[in-house]
Chains A and B, each alone.
Chain A
Amino acid sequence: MNITLRVWRQRNSDDTGQMQTYQVTDVSPDMSFLEMLDVLNENLTISGEDPIAFDSDCREGICGMCGLVINGLAHGPKERVTTCQLHMRSFSDGDVIDVEPWRAEPFTVIKDLIVDRGAFDRIIQAGGFITAPTGTAPDAHAVPVPKLDADAAFDAATCIGCGACVAACPNGSASLFVAAKVTHLGLLPQGQPERHSRALDMVAQADLEGFGGCTQIGECTAACPKGIQLDLISRLNRDVLGALAHRG
């Protein structure tokens, strides 16, 4: 297949940036989207141009490093896959494809398609953990956890911290990301002691970072490669209300 790409190029965070057009020929449908960009980059390098900078590491959909807005959709047109798992068989010969970075206030563009997602780490710092100093744990079987709770906690815990939910949200909200962590830890008996402070502190940090509020549009869930469900945000809201009531 032959593809026309329109790619966001931006030298650094101070640059204004613009779209630039490239032709990629002989694309195999078995290539991944990122492998197609690799091939383009090889050609750019040989012709002495600066290759396109984009993030990726595992290329298996689990590390959360990759993330491109493809034809306006975070992680591209296929549901429940990350950019690195998207294959060219999802496109057709002659397609014109727009490729842009995540766009959201707190995610500054560092170069081309690479953004700074440090805000997510700071949200976790604020409360996305269970305090369990090394070496102090009781036997793992001391507290049984009902299977359904364990499974639901796992489902929420599969969030890969990619940021697609934010990129997809018209408000630039990080609610789905926060809700996933609050749900994961809040469903487990080990997570109860810090349940209130966790929800409040993580939400407060998200506000501080400049993420928008949630108006239940649902674009986040649609873009989420791990299928994190929108109703977790309702759960987050309940936890926040409960915590506020508790504080009085």
Chain B
Amino acid sequence: MSSVSDTQFFTVGEPLVDTKAPAVPVNLMWDERRFQAKLVNPTNRRKRSVIIVGTGLAGGAAAATLGEAGYHVKNFCYQDSPRRAHSIAAQGGINAAKNYRNDGDSVHRLFYDTVKGGDYRSRESNVYRLSQVSVEIIDQCVAQGVPFAREYGGLLDNRSFGGVQVSRTFYARGQTGQQLLLGAYQALERQIGAGSVEMYTRHEMLDLIIVEGRARGIVVRDMVSGEIETHMADVVVLGTGGYGNVFFLSTNAMGCNVTATWRAHRKGAYFGNPCYTQIHPTCIPVSGEYQSKLTLMSESLRNDGRIWVPKEAGDNRDARQIPEDERDYYLERRYPAFGNLVPRDVASRAAKQVCDEGRGVGPGGRGVYLDFAEAITRLGRKAVEAKYGNLFEMYAQITGEDPYVTPMRIYPAVHYTMGGLWVDYDLESTIPGLFVIGEANFSDHGANRLGASALMQGLSDGYFVLPSTIANYLADAPFEAADASHPAAVEVTDAVRERVQRLLAINGTRTVDSFHKELGQIMWEYCGMERTAEGLTKAIGLIRALREEFWTNVRVTGTNEELNQTLERAGRVADFFELGELMCIDALHREESCGGHFRAEHQTPDGEALRDDENFAYVAAWEFGGDGGSPVLHKEDLIYEAIEMKQRSYK
């Protein structure tokens, strides 16, 4: 097997190493790093300013914690309130190695499950720390008043999620993200009230300012007045979430975007593993052309719901008319050890396969059943209602069908992006002074994220990791004095204004959404659940052509000096084009299958992902190659010392 070298699409640069993780065994690293870290004297903290973009679990927790610690924090989000960050929509739960069930869980087991679940494409040091910190997160949230589900004895309840055999997921009915985010939001509002955090809602970051090699500021657009503003600080943190909306249809909120991280990428931050996207197996199928987003049905449903399709292709009978022995519970059949709880990538691909065989159900044949009949018989309707009531309600609302009576129809949809800006153990990007937290970074989930681990990562980064590591960085401040009149700041701000005017001046004939939809279709077709060299090469050509058309034929109505949602979307879509191309290049270069990245050319005889550890056990960190240039690949080798690399098996 040949290893990767320069191609027509990219060049290969120097390897990359994470220099921040101390050279001690993985279980001692975080203690050691915190001990080595320089501290900032409380009286000096007021003089140190921190820009945090994002108010989700990662950004919100970080802003609240750093504000409380005494730093001068400026916090930004594009919604009208920090409470509306997309973390609010997370349903199922949050993992923590509490071992409250006494079922054999431990920090090491959570670490192991996460590395294995990520198909051995994540960094041991970061994942171990995540597992360690998980324990503190639950304590913190309970202290804030997060109303987790409890048992009659008053203790916290747990459930199981995909890819694991212990019960370590804490939850608040089907609204865990909402409750965790409200905890962080309330802590944040307390700091805003106290004057330590300045909050800028309805402000969108459009670029990053670098002064003397350090990230020192951002350019934002006030989304109400249209004013383009310059904000400067000692350090910049991005907690801006994932980029799943490059596919147009995803479970992400309408406004989720890649602009903040992509603009930073263009300024020198490497992008890690952009092609690793998670397609979630349990979403409500697409119903029509006009569809604006897809809705997730939480993975927790797989605890009690059974997934099946008819054995015979083209069996159009009503689900209830199909007798037991003519149903294929294909996950239980293929993966007896994990059954319906196999990891997401495995479950999604299996659904695609049965639908490709013509056994899919519902309009268009792109759906499988998620059936609760057995659970309702076993537990009673009341118990099922208590566990999943709001999800069932949401399903009924959207589809007009009653899932207590007929089985749900589900199909995979884009849900989460494991890729993101490359960061070291300190969560610092390749631009000094630019830290990246939460879904926006690439760090902890390898090629596939386990359920209930994103909330854990967001809060771990925001409450615990970043506040320690950023202090080490700020201990070296003050840096060169730089305010909005610094030439570097003026240059970036002018460039942002110019780009906005360029978009407004095109005045073509196609809407922003029509371009976004077409881009999404290309990505879903060629860079979705199954990828091939041929398809990806084709996609790169299609994206380039579409991008060119966009810049000559898009129609952006109105002006900059007003609330202008078309303009907001146009800027985001313009960045999605560039990201989409890089995703395809990354997917094309990775000549193996791992986790959510499935290359049809690389599979085992029974259709499972076939990794190539010899040639691809690395993080692909991409450097921006300039407009019209080729991106440069930097490899960070993944070295496993605490865990042995194995072929994943859930059979």
**Taking beta carbons and an 8 Å cutoff, which residues of A are in contact with B?**
11-12, 28, 30-32, 34-36, 38-39, 42, 45-46, 48-51, 53, 55-65, 81, 85, 87, 89, 110-111, 114, 116-118, 120-121, 124-126, 128-141, 143-147, 150-151, 153-154, 157-158, 160-161, 184-185, 188, 190-191
Query: What does the 1/0 interface line of B183-203 toward A look like (CB < 8 Å)?
Result: 001110110110000010100
Interface string of B536-570 (1 = CB under 8 A from A): 00000000000000000001011000110110000
Contact-size category for B: 35 or more
Interface string of B211-226 (1 = CB under 8 A from A): 0000000000000100
Of the candidate stretches B273-281, B288-296, B429-437, B603-611, the one touching chain A is B288-296
A140 contacts B98, CB within 8 Å?
Answer: yes
B267 at the interface (CB under 8 A from A): no
Say yes or no for B629: interface residue by CB 8 A criterion. no
B201 A42 Cβ-Cβ under 8 A: no
Is B513 a contact partner of A42 (Cβ separation < 8 A)?
yes
Q: Which residues of B contact A53 (CB under 8 A)?
A: 563, 565
Known: A57-B253, A150-B149, A158-B178. A117 touches B81 (CB 8 A): yes
**In the bound complex, CA of A51 to CA of B565 (Å):** 9
Choose from A36, A56, A81, A161 the contact partner of B81 (Cβ within 8 Å): A161
CB contacts under 8 Å to A, within B127-171, are 136, 138-145, 147-156
Which of B82, B89, B185, B514 contacts A60, CB < 8 Å? Answer: B89
The answer to whether A139 and B89 touch across the interface, beta carbons within 8 angstroms, is: no
Check A28 against B290 for contact (C-beta < 8 Å).
yes
B190:A125 contact, CB within 8 angstroms: yes
Report how far A181 CA is from B182 CA in the complex, Å.
Answer: 10
Give the distance to chain B from A78, nearest Cβ to Cβ, in Å. 8
The reply to whether the CB of B266 lies closer than 8 angstroms to some CB of chain A is: no
Task: Show 28 residue pairs from A and B whose CB-CB distance is below 8 angstroms, ordered by the A residue.
Answer: A32-B292, A35-B292, A36-B290, A38-B290, A57-B79, A59-B295, A60-B296, A60-B394, A61-B397, A63-B86, A63-B89, A64-B88, A81-B397, A117-B80, A117-B81, A121-B192, A125-B190, A130-B186, A134-B65, A135-B463, A140-B98, A141-B156, A144-B153, A147-B150, A153-B145, A157-B179, A161-B81, A188-B147
Do B139 and A137 touch (CB < 8 A)? yes
| Contact, CB under 8 Å: A59 / B254 | yes
Residue of B nearest to A134 (CB): B65
CB < 8 Å neighbour of A85 from B79, B193, B394: B394
For residue A38, which residues in chain B have a CB less than 8 angstroms away from its CB?
A: 290, 292, 513
Partner of B190, one of A85, A114, A131, A158: A131
Q: Is the CB of A30 within 8 A of B288?
A: yes
Is B562 in contact with A87, judged by CB distance below 8 angstroms? no
Q: What residues make up the interface of B, taking CB atoms closer than 8 Å to A?
A: 61, 64-65, 68, 79-84, 86, 88-89, 98, 100, 136, 138-145, 147-156, 172-173, 175, 178-179, 182, 185-187, 189-190, 192-193, 199, 201, 224, 253-255, 287-288, 290-293, 295-296, 394, 397-398, 400, 463-464, 467, 509, 511, 513-514, 555, 557-558, 562-563, 565-566
Closest to A54 in B: B565
> B155, B189, B192 — which one has the most chain A CB atoms within 10 A of its CB?
B189
Contact A134 B140 (CB under 8 A): yes
Pairwise interchain contact A135-B136, C-beta atoms closer than 8 A? yes
Residue of B61, B100, B562 with most partner-chain A CB within 10 A: B562
Q: Do B147 and A132 have beta carbons less than 8 Å apart?
A: no
B82–A121 contact, CB under 8 A?
yes
Shortest Cβ-Cβ A-B pairs, 4 listed:
A144-B154, A125-B193, A137-B143, A129-B186
Flag if A62 contacts B464 (CB, 8 Å): no
- Measured between beta carbons, the chain B residues less than 8 angstroms from A57 are 79, 84, 86, 253-255
* Residues in A whose Cβ lies below 8 Å from that of B156: 140-141
Residues of chain B within 8 A (CB-CB) of A147 are 150-152, 154
Shortest Cβ gap from A64 to chain B (Å)? 6
- Chain A nearest CB from B245 CB (Å) reads 11
A147–B172 Cα gap in the complex (Å)? 12
In the complex, the chain A residue whose C-beta lies closest to that of B173 is A154
- CB neighbours (8 Å) of A62 from chain B are 88-89, 175, 178
Could you tell me if A89 and B80 are in contact, using CB atoms closer than 8 angstroms? Answer: no
Give Cα A28–Cα B286 distance, bound, in whole angstroms. 14
**Which chain B residues border A48 with CB–CB below 8 Å?**
555, 557
| A55-B145 contact given A39-B290, A131-B190, CB 8 Å threshold | no
Asked whether A118 and B201 contact (CB < 8 A) given A139-B139, A188-B145, the answer is yes
- Bound-state Cα–Cα, A48 to B64, Å: 44
Nearest A residue to B513 via CB reads A42
When distances are taken between beta carbons in the complex, the residues of chain B under 8 Å from A129 are: 144-145, 186-187, 189-190
Cβ-closest chain B residue relative to A56: B254
Please judge, given known A-B contacts A81-B397, A134-B464, whether A42 and B143 are in contact too, CB under 8 Å.
no
Contact A141 B155 (CB under 8 A): yes
Q: Are A132 and B187 interface neighbours, CB within 8 A?
A: yes
Assess whether A45 is in contact with B140, with CB atoms less than 8 Å apart.
Answer: no
**Most chain A CB within a 10 A radius of its CB, from B79, B88, B100:** B88
Contact assessment for B189 and A124 in the assembled complex, using a CB-CB cutoff below 8 Å: yes
Give CA–CA (A146, B89) in the complex, Å: 27
Q: Which residues of the other chain, B, contact A151 by a CB distance below 8 angstroms?
A: 147, 150
Among A60, A111, A124, A132, the residue within 8 A (CB) of B562 is A111
Of all chain B residues, the one with the shortest Cβ separation from A123 is: B189
Give which listed residue, B291, B398, B557, contacts A49 with CB less than 8 A.
Answer: B557
A153 to B157, CA, bound (A): 16
Establish whether residues A153 and B397, one from each chain, have CB atoms under 8 Å apart when the complex forms. Answer: no
Q: Is the CB of A184 within 8 A of B151?
A: no
CB atoms of A89 and B400 under 8 A apart = yes
Q: Chain B contacts of A144 at CB under 8 A?
A: 150, 153-155
A185–B190 CA distance with the chains assembled, in angstroms: 14
With A and B bound together, what is the CA distance between A227 and B643 in angstroms? 49
- Which of B68, B175, B398 is the one whose CB lies under 8 Å from A134? B68
**Which residues of A have CB within 8 Å of B140?**
132, 134-135, 137
Are A185 and B145 in contact (CB-based, < 8 A)? yes
Q: Which residue of A lies closest to B80 (CB)?
A: A117
Interchain CB contact under 8 A, B143 and A190? yes
Question: B145 is contacted by which of A64, A140, A191 (Cβ under 8 Å)?
Answer: A191
Question: Given A62-B178, A118-B80, A135-B140, A110–B224 Cβ distance below 8 Å?
Answer: yes
CA distance A157 to B173 in the complex (A): 12
Which of A51, A126, A132 is the most central at the interface, judged by chain B CB atoms within 10 Å of its CB?
Answer: A132
List 16 additional contacts besides A147-B152, A147-B154; criterion CB under 8 Å: A35-B290, A38-B513, A57-B254, A58-B88, A63-B88, A64-B84, A121-B82, A125-B189, A129-B145, A129-B189, A136-B143, A140-B139, A153-B145, A154-B147, A154-B173, A157-B179
Q: How far is the CA of A68 from the CA of B65 in the complex (A)?
A: 35
Q: Is the CB of A31 within 8 A of B288?
A: yes
Report whether A138 and B81 are in contact in the complex, using a CB–CB cutoff of 8 Å.
no
Shortest distance from the beta carbon of B259 to any chain A beta carbon, whole Å:
15
> Could you tell me the distance in whole angstroms from the C-beta of B97 to the nearest C-beta in chain A?
13
Distance, CA A114 to CA B564, complexed state (A) = 12
Q: Which residue of A lies closest to B399 (CB)?
A: A30
Contact call B83/A161, Cβ cutoff below 8 A: yes
Known: A28-B288, A61-B394. A150 touches B79 (CB 8 A): no
